[in-house]
Amino acid sequence: MIATGAENVLPNQRVDIVEFTGSVLTDQWGMTEACANASQCRNFLYHEDFELGVIERVEESRADGIMQGKLLCTGFGTPEFPLIRYDVGDIGLWSAQGECKCGLESPVLAGILGRIDDYVVTPEGTRIMRFDYIFKHTPNVRECQVVQDSVGEIRLRVVRRDDYSNADEHMLREEIRRWISPSLAVQFEYVSEIQREANGKFRAVKSLI
């Protein structure tokens, strides 16, 4: 079994992974703030993991028999910093009946909107969506957004901490050469802040091509 998370699995990605590995693919929905989680059952619907928190559905609207609305999350796992009715910024989909025939009785979500990230295209033609591992050893980077303006090149928009130096820039170039592409050109743009989107978060990867 393969468990995926963090971004929506697109239908073509699901088909490719299942065909290539011969495994069952089950997707998870959760968040770094750890105040809610939902896991796909054998029918590929998301069941709330109610041991971890409560998911409320608000501002509902209905289209074609499918309900959709904001998800407010109240978690049980972080008593040091409780998040109560936390608006995580994702939109949930559920059926009006809300049941699943798999036998589990926990509340069901049919899907999650709003977890589709951009990707960078390398000169080798590969598509890279996640860059977080590049920043594991660069604590002097407060925030970074990866922007692609043209094929063959990326721009790192970096908010620096006080101790940031050329060594950090060098390390980032090396990590990208090693893990992403040996021939991708990397530009640095130093900014005081990264613009937030409507949901209050910034997009880690932004493609303009």
Interface contacts to Zn ion, rule CB under 5 A: 41, 43, 45, 100, 102, 104
Task: Quote the least distance from Cβ 148 to Zn ion, whole Å.
Answer: 39
Identity of the residue, 108 or 120, whose beta carbon is nearer to Zn ion in the bound complex: 108
Task: Quote the least distance from Cβ 33 to Zn ion, whole Å.
Answer: 25
Task: Quote the least distance from Cβ 47 to Zn ion, whole Å.
Answer: 5
Identity of the residue, 30 or 141, whose beta carbon is nearer to Zn ion in the bound complex: 30
Tokens in use for 191?
A: 């900014």
> What does the alpha-carbon distance between residue 43 and residue 46 come to, in Å, rounded to a whole number?
9
CB 138 within 8 A of CB 164: no
Task: Compute the half-sphere exposure of residue 27: CA atoms within 13 Å on the CB side of its CA.
Answer: 21
Identity of the residue, 45 or 121, whose beta carbon is nearer to Zn ion in the bound complex: 45
Identity of the residue, 69 or 107, whose beta carbon is nearer to Zn ion in the bound complex: 107
Tokens in use for 41?
A: 């059952």
Task: Compute the half-sphere exposure of residue 33: CA atoms within 13 Å on the CB side of its CA.
Answer: 16
* Count of positions (residues) in the chain: 209
If you ran DSSP here, which 8-state letter would residue 45 be given?
P
Task: Quote the least distance from Cβ 41 to Zn ion, whole Å.
Answer: 3
